[in-house]
Amino acid sequence: MSRFLLPLLASLPLAASAQDGGQLFATYCAACHGANGEGAMNGQFPPLSGSPWPLGNPDRAIKIVLHGLQGPVEVNGRTWNLEMPPQGAALPDEHIAAILTYVRSSWGNKADAVTPDRVKSIRAALANRSESWKAPEILKLHPLEVTPPLSDLISYVYDGTWKNPPDFTTLKPVATEEEHKGLISLKKVGKKDHFGVVWEGGLSLPADGDYEFLFDADDGGRLILDGKTLAEVKGIGPIDSRAVQVSEKSTKGPHKLRVEYYEFEGQEEIRVAWRKNGAPGWTWLSDAKSGGSAKKWPDIPIEATAGRTAIYRNFIKGTTARGIGFGFPGGVNLAWSADHLQPELIWTGKFMDGGHHWTDRGQGAEPPAGENVVALSSTETMPKDARFKGYKLDPKGNPTFSMTIGSQRLLDSWKPGTLQGKPALVRTLTLVGQGNPLSLTLSDKAPVALVSGSDYTLGSTTLLHLDAGKIETQGSSAILKLTPGQPVTVTYGWK
């Protein structure tokens, strides 16, 4: 095909080169699409090798060469926002036919030859067209015949509770399914927590050389190529913060790919991609995609220092736009929503990575950087007349949130502590003013179960202790009744 951005005006004598598609391609097209069809400058321009755009119905490619194409254009999961100038005035029908025939039969592409008569008929039919094509317009006329990124893909679903990758070869799947779209996806699993999935299929690489593979998961798993484990994400934690990117020398042609995944609790997601070494964009094998790189920003760890609690006021994944993060000494953390007037996430280990929002004020939400993330709630459960009145910090940076509920005031104070000898979050709730007791929702996402006395479990990883009162369940909600003038301390710990 022709160059993007700057049209190459050099030409070859028509009589000597009308059928020399390779030479014509090198003259008019290779400067942008690359001599190997993989996109010049390590993929700064769209590839033609392995791309569905020049294949299938040739009318699509003919029209693009004749009239040009304006971005954005997506090829194999990556988007280019460039402009390909029209070449109809510079190239006769014979040259266009020869170039497209070469492209459709090179670098592993397999499609029928394009005839000069077909180019001639389309040129005549569109003689009055003057503007370039845009992707939605031409794809509506000529949809892509997309080859699945993975061939013969089969998924195996398992029931189980794991905090590290298990040996799936010793387990029996509860469901097996052919994945005809050839994409690694969790959309049809039908489970939220305590399950695993293994995908097996064929991955075809376009050439011998060095490749990079990207693997990321919430919670974890393995990426295996031809029986060799390339990447592994262990433990329990969110997507993005533990992405693994590895290099591997490989050969052209088919390879056996196996992807293992397990989900403990909370959110579930998996990302898998590959690219030629040094190329700027990824070819995605999963329906979930990141921004195109395993690491887009430098690491800027935010943590408690000198015994003082750290604060993060940018967007946090898993809570609302006005979520406020607190990283306490001892490696226990909180995200409290000023929209819903309640805590929504607690977790252990690392607090937050400020690289995303502190480097270039990137859009989107940053996930907690630690592990054992517990979602307490994601909806408003306070009374309708509740109003947020801000928060104050004690000398060590520990917050007390203040809310009014009618004529009463609720104070919600947090600080670090211990439970059963391990770091914990200590929460003191104080209802002030005359009025009725308040039914406060402690959690409507993680189930609460009584162990004995004042000790409870919260989900399967977290412990909860009350110094007074008791928790009642109403459907999926765990309710604590607060009496005016009688503070209650709730301690959250981890097993």
Q: How many residues does the chain have?
A: 495
Q: Which amino acid is at 149?
A: P
Give the pLDDT score at 280: 59
Nearest to 105 by CA among 200, 37, 14: 37
Q: Are 281 and 289 in contact (CB under 8 A)?
A: no
Asked whether the bond before 210 is cis by omega within 30 degrees of 0, the reply is: no
Those residues whose C-beta lies under 8 Å from the C-beta of residue 393, and which sit 6 or more positions away, are 309, 399, 400
- Give DSSP secondary structure letters for 322-391: TEEEEEETTTEEEEEETTTTEEEEEEES--EETHHHHHH--SS-BPPSSEEEEE--SS--S-TTEEEEEE
- Token pair of 154 as six digits: 């089969």
For 296, the 3-state DSSP assignment is: coil
- Cα–Cα distance between 247 and 438 in angstroms, integer? 57
Which residues in 254-272 are b (16+ Cβ under 10 Å) and which e? eeebbbbbbbbbbebbbbb
Give the pLDDT score at 190: 85
Per the rule left: phi > 0, alpha: psi between -120 and 50, beta: everything else, 390 is left
pLDDT tens over the chain, length 495 residues = 444 433 333 333 333 333 478 888 888 888 888 888 888 776 678 889 888 899 999 999 999 999 999 888 888 767 888 888 899 988 999 999 999 999 999 887 888 999 999 999 999 999 999 899 999 999 999 998 877 889 999 999 999 999 999 999 999 999 999 998 899 999 889 888 899 999 999 999 988 889 999 999 999 999 999 999 999 999 988 887 788 989 999 999 999 999 999 999 888 999 999 988 766 567 889 988 874 444 556 678 899 999 999 999 988 988 998 999 999 999 999 999 999 999 999 999 999 988 877 765 555 788 899 888 999 988 889 999 999 999 999 999 999 999 999 999 999 999 999 999 999 999 999 999 999 999 999 999 888 999 999 999 998 889 999 999 999 988 889 999 999 999 999 999 998
Per the rule left: phi > 0, alpha: psi between -120 and 50, beta: everything else, 397 is left
